[in-house]
Amino acid sequence: MNFREANHYLLSLGHETLAIKLGLRNIELLLESLGNPQKSYKSVQIAGTNGKGSTAAMLDSICRAAGIPVGLYTSPHLVSITERIKIGGHEINEDAFANAVGPRTRLAIVEHITAQSALVFPLRETAARLRAQGVAVLADAAHAPGQIPVDIPSLGVDWYVGNLHKWAWTPRSSGILWAAPERQAGLRPAVISWGLDKGFKAEFDMLGTRDPSSHLSAPAAIALMREWGLEAIQAYNHGLAWTGAHRLAERWRTSFDVPEAMIGSMATVPLPEAAGGTPVEAQALRDALFFEDGIEVQMHAYRGRVWARISAQIYNDVNDIDRLGEAVTKRLGVATAGARSAPRDIG
């Protein structure tokens, strides 16, 4: 297998903090089958919402400065999946990555839509290739439900987890866990409650004293999306994200070279170099736009550049995109493109 073939179906391998924690027993069994390799070397695991990548890079730099051999894994990536794994400060080469799936590989955690780069990956094709090699597939789909059409059983994965509060109009903390029928018997929630040994659904139904209000609102939210036309909503959001990304890139004189098939209702666009390239600069600009301009947009720093991830929803239109573009250029004091092309029909 060469890198091109491996990259096609392993592009989204990696792990970010999942919305739903499945407990430790499954991973313990996996590690035991591999001989508990995690006990053979010292490691640091970094968890949180923001700053994981920069913290990991700092620790990597400290270890290398002290002469300590170190490997680094971060997720997600923006350009090449080889960016996720570094040894001694150097990305692994494509040949090393192509051989990443071998006879000892038992589980692949595959992202359906990445968070920062906002790319939709070919999950069905990826899962088919992995399962053909005997590798179980857990789909990390935090941003997928509601944003793109999803028929989970047809994807061929073993487990599928996703949030409902991001794109399915449901209050925060509501999410879904799907497991293939043959994978349900051994699956346990992180908190064991009254449903123990009463079946997959009963065990996950009520976890201790957790407030189920957000979950109970999900059916009404999904019903409203269907009433208003789920396909039409997703088509509008996609069109706005796709058109908006190109308009921003043109205004900022940067580039947006992503296949349309990899865009859902989000898109990530690089800002002009004048925006800087550090997490501090990204956060400062994001705060200024929010508190002073009344614009909320996700921004992050990557490879010496600040990037903006736009998210389109039916209460947005192209004027919101242009307002963001203009606010950024005014704050940075940079020249913008002259006449811009008319927006594509996204109605």
For residues 2 and 98, the answer to whether their CB atoms sit within 8 Å is yes
Q: Is the torsion defined by CA of 132, 75, 262, 82 positive or negative?
A: negative
Could you give the CA distance from residue 187 to residue 311 in angstroms, rounded to a whole number? 34
* Architecture, CATH, for domain 3-226: 3-Layer(aba) Sandwich (3.40)
For residues 308 and 268, the answer to whether their CB atoms sit within 8 Å is yes
**Confidence at residue 78, expressed as pLDDT on a 0 to 100 scale:** 65
**Confidence at residue 23, expressed as pLDDT on a 0 to 100 scale:** 67
User: Residue 270's closest CA among 246, 293, 292?
Assistant: 246
pLDDT surpasses 50 at 15:
no
What's the chain's average pLDDT? 84
CATH 3.90.1150.10 in the chain: give the residue spans: 230-332
pLDDT digits (tens, 9 = 90+) for 53-95: 788 888 888 888 888 888 888 876 666 777 788 888 888 776 6
CATH 3.40.640 in the chain: give the residue spans: 3-226
What is the pLDDT confidence band of residue 144, given thresholds at 50, 70 and 90? very high
* CATH code linked to domain 230-332: 3.90.1150.10
**Which token pair is 314?**
């039916």
Walk across the sheet containing 266-270 and list its strands: 266-270, 305-311, 298-302
The H-assigned helical ranges of 34-83 are 52-65
pLDDT surpasses 60 at 99:
yes
**Confidence at residue 4, expressed as pLDDT on a 0 to 100 scale:** 62
pLDDT surpasses 70 at 187:
yes
Strands 266-270 and 175-179: unpaired
**Confidence at residue 32, expressed as pLDDT on a 0 to 100 scale:** 77
pLDDT surpasses 90 at 196:
no
Could you give the CA distance from residue 164 to residue 280 in angstroms, rounded to a whole number? 30
pLDDT surpasses 60 at 18:
no
**pTM, rounded to two decimals:** 0.70
